[in-house]
Homo-oligomer: A and B are copies of this chain.
């Protein structure tokens, strides 16, 4: 099993999409540059959604040509429907992220479709992308729990995963969208999926809402998953509701994985600079658990020794 892990930075998209302060294109480009400087190689900087619904993402096409163009970078755009897919493709994205939620209610609220309609929509996007030679990663959103209907049986994300692979999705991301999952569920969902499709077909996407993201990430890594989403500083969530957190902080994920002997290629000190700028840009305190610890060490006059 490889010890190299792909950490996909989704802070610019999942992190910024529901902030009350809309971050300008210039700052987003600076954040992307700092992320790449810290060693990040996979980024999801934009979604092609209705600017009326999500004004924070209205500059998707404008931001794209301003992103770092270093060799070896991998960008994804999130697309909610066929129209969004076409915009992403035309903007030059070679991988798109699709979203399929596990319940009717969640799909209705998210995409104004039933579960069946949303699955069929993903299938048609995947078909179009295959014709264009664009890769697809389908997110099974609410794979652990639905924000409206509560806990989800493990068979549901497994079944939707099978359907998306059958439709030709290149990868599937198992997403604990509201941070209500637990590591036992992770084991129960992923074990048969990995056996059937192989660990390298999967991303895991976590939110640290209830404090279990590191335990879930460790369980996934222990099962062989080597692809994770994360958001620098834990950016995301609703800033008006303390505790309604964003994605698992990139720095916490990197610390977990590296301390367990896996290689992310990402420098935590470099991420601190990104966190500083992101906190300034969103006008809110940011930073994962490991940064709190580092700051506390420095406050006592000690140099934090991570490894």
Contact of A212 with B259 in the complex, beta carbons under 8 Å: yes
A284 contacts B by Cβ under 8 Å = no
A297 to B237, CA, bound (A): 13
- What are the residues of chain B within 8 A of A307 when measuring CB–CB? 151
Size category, A interface: 35 or more
Q: Write the nearest CB–CB distance from A178 to chain B, whole angstroms.
A: 11
Quick check: A243 and B292 within 8 Å, CB to CB? Answer: yes
Q: How far is the CA of A260 from the CA of B144 in the complex (A)?
A: 12
Bound Cα distance from A46 to B184, whole angstroms: 35
Which chain B residues border A218 with CB–CB below 8 Å? 183, 215, 218-219
Judged by a CB distance under 8 angstroms, whether A244 is at the interface is yes
Q: Closest Cβ of chain B: how far from A71's Cβ, in Å? A: 32
Q: Can you report 27 residue pairs joining A to B where beta carbons are below 8 Å apart?
A: A182-B256, A183-B215, A183-B222, A183-B256, A184-B261, A187-B222, A210-B255, A210-B289, A210-B293, A211-B214, A211-B252, A211-B289, A211-B290, A212-B214, A212-B259, A214-B214, A214-B215, A215-B215, A215-B218, A215-B256, A219-B222, A241-B300, A242-B292, A242-B295, A242-B296, A242-B299, A244-B296
Q: Would you call B182 and A260 a contact (CB within 8 A)? A: yes
Q: Which residue of chain B has the shortest Cβ distance to A258 in the bound complex?
A: B182
Q: How many copies does the complex hold?
A: 2
In the bound complex, residues from chain B placing their C-beta under 8 Å from that of A187 are: 222
**Could you list which residues of chain A lie within 8 angstroms of chain B, going by C-beta atoms?**
150-151, 182-184, 187, 209-212, 214-215, 217-219, 222, 241-244, 252, 255-256, 259-261, 288-290, 292-293, 295-297, 299-300, 305, 307
**A296 and B241 contact, Cβ closer than 8 Å, known pairs A150-B305, A210-B290, A290-B210:** yes
| Complex alpha-carbon distance, A299 and B211, angstroms | 18
Task: Across the A-B interface, give the 4 residue pairs with the lowest CB-CB distance, nearest first.
Answer: A243-B296, A211-B289, A184-B260, A182-B259
Nearest CB in chain B: distance from A45 CB, A:
26
Give CA–CA (A58, B256) in the complex, Å. Answer: 39
Q: Which of B209, B217, B300 contacts A215 (CB 8 A)?
A: B217
Q: A33 to nearest B CB, angstroms?
A: 27
A179's nearest neighbour on chain B, judged by CB, is B293
Contacts of A259 in B (CB 8 A): 182, 184, 212
Q: Whole-angstrom distance between the alpha carbons of A290 and B211 in the complex? A: 7
Q: State the CA gap A293–B178 with chains docked (Å).
A: 12
Q: Give the CA-CA distance A218 to B256 in the complex, in Å.
A: 14
Q: How far is the CA of A175 from the CA of B150 in the complex (A)?
A: 36
State A197–B242 Cα separation when bound (angstroms).
44
A256 adjacent to B212 (CB under 8 Å): yes
